[in-house]
């Protein structure tokens, strides 16, 4: 199992967010993930590093790509993977998050991957269970593996992250993807811009080390990377935008607006995309789009995270 010895030890037991991680921590995970990309491209997509380990995916929110990505990642490492969707569980019968987690914990999983509608759910779980916990998205708080896969995608496309201008555009207010990306891209030396109408910017945006733009044209001018976010209408109560058509006109990424960014600018989106709402179809499917690469990198990143957290070189004493 050479893969466990060639990378630095990741000094954390859980991955609850990007907050608190150093650039070195992030690079350790991204390097590990980079080395895993080739595995998914092989005919035999299987490693054995996690053979005998049990991974439970506990998804309290609907998810297609994140859940399948974690599932494939675990399976490609040789782990036994179980998916628990909330609609199949006793939570529907009134059991709490903690009760469910403690029940699963009694089955001795090695790693629990959780997605939940409330910010802080993953951290709460981590205090209660005896295994490693990975946050696969908690409310509008963090989505660390998405930020890692985005960093890997950018690094492979551009050869670096340091010094790049990255414009994160759209519904930043409701976006855990934006929060995790702002933290990770800043730590890795990018210049980060937050581009959104004022109604879709969080109050604390001025303390997030970003340049704020409420005009999309100005916000994406000369950018190396444009990261579009989905308009999260399910998290909105009341009207944050006048209409979808207005929104697309001012904040949707189309050919004309993208023309203001650098010629070799890449276009990203965590998915699922709303065509014609935040991004035009021809841009999503166009030559500058790396949206499918992001999905590919997602599996490699999740494999890396699982391996790093369950690294056999880490003694219990080092856990934190
Ligand atoms: C994101 C999420 O769930 O936070 N999607 C994802 O992880 N694939 C972004 C979104 O839902 O818009």
Ligand 1 pocket member 146 (CB < 6 A): yes
- Please tell me the distance between residue 315's alpha carbon and the centre of ligand 1 in angstroms: 34
Instruction: Tell me the C-alpha distance between 174 and 162, whole Å.
Output: 27
- What is the structure's pLDDT at 193? 98
pLDDT digits (tens, 9 = 90+) for 54-89: 999 999 988 889 999 999 999 999 999 999 877 666
271 is in an annotated binding site: yes
* Contact call for residues 231 and 277 (beta carbons, < 8 A): yes
- The model's confidence at residue 1, banded by pLDDT at 50, 70 and 90, is very low
41 is in an annotated binding site: no
What percentage of residues in the chain have a pLDDT greater than 70? 93
Structural domains of the chain, with CATH: 14-142+296-313 (3.40.50.1370), 144-290 (3.40.50.1370)
Whether the predicted pLDDT of 32 surpasses 70? yes
Ligand 1 pocket member 66 (CB < 6 A): yes
317 is in an annotated binding site: no
Average pLDDT rounded to a whole number, residues 280-306: 98
- What is the structure's pLDDT at 233? 78
- What is the structure's pLDDT at 240? 80
184-198, 219-233, 239-253: the lowest-pLDDT one = 239-253
* Pocket perturbation via mutation, ligand 1, pick of 146, 150, 181, 235 by most ligand atoms within 8 A of CB: 146
Nearest to 112 by CA among 121, 101, 103, 120: 101
- What is the structure's pLDDT at 301? 98
Average pLDDT along the chain: 93
pLDDT digits (tens, 9 = 90+) for 80-134: 999 987 766 666 666 788 888 899 999 999 999 999 999 999 999 999 999 999 9
pLDDT digits (tens, 9 = 90+) for 233-253: 777 766 788 788 899 999 999
- The model's confidence at residue 314, banded by pLDDT at 50, 70 and 90, is confident
Whether the predicted pLDDT of 320 surpasses 60? no
Whether the predicted pLDDT of 2 surpasses 50? no
pTM: 0.95
Average pLDDT rounded to a whole number, residues 154-173: 98
- The residue that leads in pLDDT, 49 or 314, is 49
- What is the structure's pLDDT at 88? 60
- What is the structure's pLDDT at 5? 58
- What is the structure's pLDDT at 259? 98
Instruction: Tell me the C-alpha distance between 16 and 222, whole Å.
Output: 33
- The residue that leads in pLDDT, 240 or 224, is 224
């Amino acid at each position: 199992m050479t893969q466990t010895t060639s990378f630095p030890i990741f000094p954390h037991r859980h991955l609850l967010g990007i907050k608190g991680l150093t650039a070195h921590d992030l690079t350790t995970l991204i390097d590990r993930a980079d080395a895993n990309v080739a595995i998914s491209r092989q005919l035999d997509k299987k490693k054995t590093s996690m053979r005998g380990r049990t991974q439970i995916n506990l998804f309290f929110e609907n998810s297609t790509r994140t859940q399948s990505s974690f599932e494939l990642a675990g399976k490609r490492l040789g782990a036994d993977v179980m998916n628990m969707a909330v609609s199949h569980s006793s939570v529907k019968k009134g059991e709490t998050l903690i009760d469910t987690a403690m029940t699963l914990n009694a089955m001795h999983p090695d790693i629990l991957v959780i997605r939940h509608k409330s910010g802080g759910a993953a951290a709460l779980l981590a205090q209660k269970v005896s295994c490693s916990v990975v946050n696969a998205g908690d409310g509008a708080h963090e989505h660390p593996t998405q930020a890692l896969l985005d960093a890997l995608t950018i690094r492979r496309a551009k050869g670096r992250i340091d010094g790049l201008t990255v414009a994160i555009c759209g519904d930043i207010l409701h976006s855990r993807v934006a929060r995790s990306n702002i933290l990770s891209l800043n730590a890795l030396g990018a210049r980060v811009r937050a581009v959104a109408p004022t109604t879709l910017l969080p109050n604390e945006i001025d303390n997030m080390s970003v340049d704020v733009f409420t005009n999309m044209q100005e916000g994406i001018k000369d950018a190396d990377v444009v990261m579009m976010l989905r308009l999260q209408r399910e998290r909105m109560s009341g009207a944050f935008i006048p209409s979808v058509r207005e929104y697309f006109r001012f904040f949707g990424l189309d050919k004309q607006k993208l023309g203001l960014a650098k010629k070799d600018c890449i276009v990203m989106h965590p998915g699922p995309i709303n065509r014609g709402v935040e991004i035009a179809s021809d841009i999503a499917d166009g030559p500058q789009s790396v949206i499918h690469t992001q999905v590919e990198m997602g599996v490699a990143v999740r494999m890396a995270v699982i391996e790093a957290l369950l690294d056999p070189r880490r003694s219990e004493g080092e856990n934190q």
